[in-house]
Amino acid sequence: MTRPDETYELLASRFRPVFARIAEGAVARELNRTLAHEAVTLLRDAGFGAVRVPAEYGGSGASITDLFRLLIELGEADSNLPQILRAHFGIAEERLHDPDPARRERWLRRIGAGAIIGNAVTETGHGAVGAVATTIDDEHADGWRITGAKHYSTGSLYADWIAVLASRGEEGQGFAMVRADDPGLSRIDDWDGFGQRLTASGTTLLNGVTTQPEDVFWYADRGPNYMIAFYQLVHLATLSGIARAIVTDATAYVRARQRVFSHGSGDTPAGDPLVQQVIGRLSGLSFAAEATTLAAVGRLEHVNRLRAHGEVPQTAYDDAEVTTSRAYITVADTVLRAANLLFETGGASVVRRTEALDRHWRNARTLAVHNPVIYKERAVGDHLLNDAAPSYSWTVGVKP
């Protein structure tokens, strides 16, 4: 029988050559702001988007732990890529557990055949999560029509299908799946953040875009799930990949240097005990980030084991959500410290634009504010002090 680590190594060996090619172009893409179309195509052609899809539908049938380990490796190559595919893997994960067998098979086959899914969920304005102005009009013979405007549409420019959060009368909200090439859909690359610059997290405009009733995943139909934790863990896997890249880049930078300081402690930077200490510290921070992320992923693995054998108790979902929030608090801080400490390995040359080492801090800082740590800390504290239940995705957008 193959041991779990051997199983993962067999799986990862298929994708590592692709990750290596993606890593080769990461700095050039960053410096020139070249969108990652080629990298996404490489991943699609290798079957990476179908890694969780069962083999009978064209995928690899990987475990959820294997997926996140692969996302960490991909994040080391280029942290834009796991975020580009965040919505894709989220929709795929939900379809794996879809109670509608026909819809489950239809979408898993599409993903298994190479379809990439983006998102158009977030709206700007005064409303909190759950206040959605994008609407579905059902008075059309050839399908329903969607009208609205979305922002932070991560991955949409690279996608074949886009999951649009919309509302329809009394049915509440749901994800409506639309074709990315629909003539009524406009994707605008206007993301101007200083980090994660290639994720295509721009604006999506929908003007009578067609969806089919069977391809709307209503919130009201969702059962208990761990999707809030899942989406947070994609960010943590990406941050863990950044931490790995920091160690890789810092080590390569120091090894290539010969110039030392008059007040240094070694004949070469690599021979300087203080520089060695910094590299060792970076390695420890990277290890801590990855270990913490995978420990939280283990809670999702536990839910899946329980699900396979019957009902999942509410306490298991609570544990998955709270543990992920604890991990978020720890990993975000750990990786940001590593991204800053990296610059202690050299002098002025370490900040040269051509090195692009600043991208690690910019990307980590950008990822860490997607779910601000202050709210995670408060939520965990409220849970411990007052037994407050964590938030769940299946309760958002469902009318009482």
Short-list 288, 286, 293, 225, CA closest to 70: 293
Find all residues with CB under 8 Å of 378, minimum gap 6, and list them. none
Short-list 154, 200, 180, CA closest to 36: 200
Domains 4-115 and 119-221 share a fold: no
Domain 119-221 grouped into CATH 3.80.10.10:
no
Which CATH code is given to the segment(s) 4-115?
Answer: 1.10.540.10
> Rounded to 5 degrees, what are φ and ψ at 13?
-65, -25
- Which pLDDT does position 267 carry in this prediction? 76
Could you tell me the pTM of the whole model?
0.95
Q: Please write down the long-range contacts of 298-307, taking CB distance under 8 Å and 24 or more positions apart.
A: 298/65, 299/226, 299/229, 299/323, 299/324, 300/64, 300/226, 300/229, 300/230, 300/233, 301/63, 301/64, 301/65, 303/226, 304/64, 307/97
Question: Tens-digit pLDDT profile for the chain (400 aa)?
Answer: 456 688 999 999 999 999 999 999 999 999 999 999 999 999 999 999 999 999 999 999 999 999 999 999 999 999 999 999 999 999 999 999 999 999 999 999 999 999 999 999 998 875 545 578 899 998 777 889 999 999 999 999 999 999 999 998 876 889 999 999 999 999 999 999 999 999 999 999 999 999 999 999 998 888 889 999 999 999 999 999 999 999 999 999 999 887 776 566 767 878 889 999 999 999 999 999 999 999 999 999 999 999 999 889 999 999 999 999 999 999 999 999 999 999 999 888 889 999 999 999 999 999 999 888 999 999 999 999 999 988 765 455 444 3
Ordered by start, the domain boundaries in the chain are 4-115, 119-221, 227-395
- The CATH H-level superfamily of 227-395 is Butyryl-CoA Dehydrogenase, subunit A, domain 3 (1.20.140.10)
Per the DSSP assignment, residues forming a β-bridge with 118 are 162
CA separation, residue 1 to residues 5, 67, 217, 225 (Å) = 12, 21, 39, 31
